[in-house]
Amino acid sequence: MENLIALVNRLQRACTALGDHGEESSLPTLWDALPTIAVVGGQSSGKSSVLESIVGKDFLPRGSGIVTRRPLVLQLHLIEEGREYAEFGHLPRKRFTDFAAVRKEIADETDRETGRSKQISSVPIYLSIYSPNVVNLTLIDLPGLTKVAVEGQPDSIVLDIENMVRSYIEKPNCIILAISPANQDLATSDAIKISREVDPKGERTFGVLTKIDLMDKGTDAVDMLEGKSYKLQFPWIGVVNRSQADINKNVDMIAARRREREYFSSTPEYRHLANRMGSEHLGKVLSKHLESVIKSRIPGLQSLINKTIIELETELSRLGKPIATDAGGKLYMIMEICRSFDGNFKEHLDGVRPGGDKIYYVFDNQLPAALKRLQFDKQLSMDNVRKLITEADGYQPHLIAPEQGYRRLIESSIVSMKGPAEAAVDAVHAILKELIHKAISETAASSLSFLATELKQYPSLRVEVSNAAVESLERMRDESKKATLQLVEMECSYLTVDFFRKLPQDIEKGGNPTHSIFDRYNDSYLRRIGSNVLSYVNMVCATLRNSIPKSVVYGQVREAKRSLLDHFFTDLGKKEGKQLGTLLDEDPAIMQRRISLAKRLELYRAAQTEIDSVAWSK
Ligand code: GDP
Ligand code: MG
């Protein structure tokens, strides 16, 4: 018993940590991990008596007739110290210290369910006994198997009881005490019949022979006890329980045990078997068997625990680190998360992650296409040229060359390039913004870095960082727009003189005073001016096509890489611990989850230590 108690205690420490406390635990509770012991047999074969003597306590209703009419699930709990007491599942928090009262409550509760008739019910009664003198075990007292219905019982009763009994003993972790009275033919034993059905190899069935003292004079149980009548895997054990007369006289357990011992050692037929007979021996055999069954479960339990520990650790690391408590730690944590986000963002631009190529697409396709759509040739149609030149001349037609007219024509064309320039700035801004959102969600979801889900972990920080980044981008966009439009304005403000000097001289013929004044506005003259302006404008367009991307990259892309979160960091530096705390306001559900995971992990580690020590002890 000592060994078993120590073993079960350690297991209990392990399992209480797990099954009984761990919510949604996949591990068995102690009671699942431990075998249960059930008594089966015919009516009045002595089941309740045997169970009582294993427990070492008088508390079960016994007697002739159908006494046990509901299953009794009896859990024994070892307590460190204190007075022993019992509790019923149907009467929580009511402590019974008088075991006669326990017996009465079992009888009363049986009647409550079945009525005063001899009905049988499959609804179990749960009884827990807390004592310093027991080992943690579950024992089940079952109604006796019958062959015929009596006293107004329905005909189905025989099968009903059989099915109920079977439902308990067919569980593989159930140890069966098959009780057969010695004063009946073993061939008719209901206990043997049903236990063989659920445990054909007899690996968990113990044959117990009761009422040896009641055998007819001249007969003995030696053949049965030696397994000659019916062989079981484990040797038969004979017991002598208290007779009805003993019960009526309140013979106590200790006296009964002593008498049982005397009976086997003094009866000549059994003397040679005496050391393997009796209730005490049955108790020892059972506890040894329990020990080996429990030990055989340990490797499975160990691997289950190890597996769960790994799962818990994985989930914990996926949830990320808990929040630092001091301002410095919090600041460091925020910076760390921001750096990881910033790194992701840059990787998008630099081609490590996708998306940066969209910017080049703007320069290579969208911008040239937009410039092309300006259709300068239409703008420089003859009518337009005439109109602008005439307007620029005012009341005095130009004498040599239409200087003012040229300027107006050129300016009006170049100014229209502001549209595509501005569109390029906006397009790149949109791409950068999209990359920020990508990088934010990657910082929240990547499973690669230990910062893994940090931005997911802190929804407020996520919002703040992405707002700050977008605000930065907007500032950069505004600056870049100014600079880029300036490029266009610069082209308007000063024309490339050389271009006009290099024009073939006859182009300037329009200015030749020898021509008639009426020639000056004729078609070929205007067409020449138009084509001069067009080639100048095309030249400027080609220049801007090259310089707008430079300005955009300089003002937006390069700047975003350099200083996306600078403002955010400056503001951060001014914040107090409490404000930093609100940034790290983790989702309470996650916080809770981490705490409970950590707690369970601790329990499982403790359980692992316990189980390992059980496994290694001999
Ligand atoms: P159950 O119906 O199988 O639970 O049987 P009980 O334990 O209630 O016992 C039925 C009756 O048989 C009771 O009166 C017991 O005192 C008596 N009894 C049980 N075992 C023995 C035994 O080994 N010897 C004697 N003389 N009587 C016994
Ligand atoms: Mg009984």
426 lines ligand 1 (CB under 6 A): no
183 alpha carbon – ligand 2 mean position (Å): 18
146 lines ligand 1 (CB under 6 A): no
One domain, residues 296 and 349 = no
Question: What is the reported pLDDT for 504?
Answer: 72
Look-up of token digits 């299953």:
71
Report residues of the chain scoring pLDDT below 70.
1-6, 8-33, 65, 116-118, 151-152, 444-457, 505-520, 617-618
Q: Which domain holds residue 152?
A: 2-12+35-300
Q: Is 81 helix (H, G, I), strand (E, B) or coil?
A: coil
Look-up of token digits 């070929």:
524
- Confirm whether 19 is domain-assigned: no
| Cα gap 31→294, rounded to integer Å | 11
Distance between start and end Cα atoms, the chain: 15
Backbone angles phi, psi at 76, to 5 degrees: -95, 130
One domain, residues 104 and 234 = yes
520 lines ligand 1 (CB under 6 A): no
Neighbours of ion ligand 2 (CB under 5 A): 47-48, 67-68
| Cα gap 515→526, rounded to integer Å | 14
- Confirm whether 440 is domain-assigned: yes
* Amino acid in the structure at residue 77: H
One domain, residues 277 and 207 = yes
Question: What is the reported pLDDT for 618?
Answer: 54
One domain, residues 141 and 195 = yes
Question: What is the reported pLDDT for 240?
Answer: 95
Write out pLDDT tens, residues 482-528. Answer: 999 999 999 999 999 999 888 875 544 444 544 555 556 788 888 88
Look-up of token digits 């940090």:
454
Mutate to test the pocket of ligand 1, among 57, 62, 183, 252 (most ligand atoms within 8 A of CB): 62
214 lines ligand 1 (CB under 6 A): yes
Longest CA–CA separation in the chain, Å: 163
Nearest CA to ligand 1 atom 17: 243
pTM of the model: 0.58
| Cα gap 475→557, rounded to integer Å | 12
- Confirm whether 345 is domain-assigned: yes
Question: What is the reported pLDDT for 450?
Answer: 43
CATH code of the domain in which 546 resides: 1.20.120.1240
- Confirm whether 591 is domain-assigned: no
| Cα gap 407→536, rounded to integer Å | 11
One domain, residues 134 and 218 = yes
48 lines ligand 1 (CB under 6 A): yes
64 lines ligand 1 (CB under 6 A): yes
| Cα gap 510→9, rounded to integer Å | 115
- Confirm whether 460 is domain-assigned: yes
Give the pair of three-digit tokens for residue 263: 């009976």
| Cα gap 302→612, rounded to integer Å | 7
**Nearest Cα to 25, choosing from 298, 316, 305?**
305
280 lines ligand 1 (CB under 6 A): no
88 by Cβ neighbours in 10 Å (0-12 / 13-18 / 19+) ranks as middle
* Amino acid in the structure at residue 215: M
- Confirm whether 43 is domain-assigned: yes
Question: What is the reported pLDDT for 25?
Answer: 46
Write out pLDDT tens, residues 20-69. Answer: 444 444 445 555 667 889 999 998 999 999 988 888 777 777 777 677 88
CATH code of the domain in which 128 resides: 3.40.50.300
43 lines ligand 1 (CB under 6 A): yes
One domain, residues 490 and 430 = yes
- Confirm whether 618 is domain-assigned: no
Look-up of token digits 């003012």:
404
Question: What is the reported pLDDT for 303?
Answer: 85
Q: Is 177 helix (H, G, I), strand (E, B) or coil?
A: strand
The answer to whether the CB of 466 falls within 8 A of the CB of 436 is yes
- Confirm whether 308 is domain-assigned: no
**Nearest Cα to 277, choosing from 202, 220, 229?**
220
Ligand with smallest separation from the Cα of 182: 1
Q: How many CB atoms lie within 10 A of CB 543?
A: 13
One domain, residues 174 and 228 = yes
Backbone angles phi, psi at 236, to 5 degrees: -65, 150
One domain, residues 294 and 337 = no
Which long-range CB contacts under 8 A does 248-257 form with residues at least 24 apart?
252/58, 253/52, 253/53, 253/56, 253/57, 253/58, 256/53, 257/53
Give the pair of three-digit tokens for residue 476: 């950069």
Signed CA dihedral, 86, 88, 89, 95: sign only: negative
One domain, residues 477 and 442 = yes
| Cα gap 207→225, rounded to integer Å | 9
| Cα gap 443→450, rounded to integer Å | 10
Q: How many CB atoms lie within 10 A of CB 498?
A: 8
**Nearest Cα to 287, choosing from 61, 129, 78?**
78
Total number of domains constituting the chain: 2
One domain, residues 334 and 290 = no
66 alpha carbon – ligand 2 mean position (Å): 7
Cα 252 to Cα 56, 60, 248, 249, 260, distances in angstroms: 10, 13, 11, 9, 12
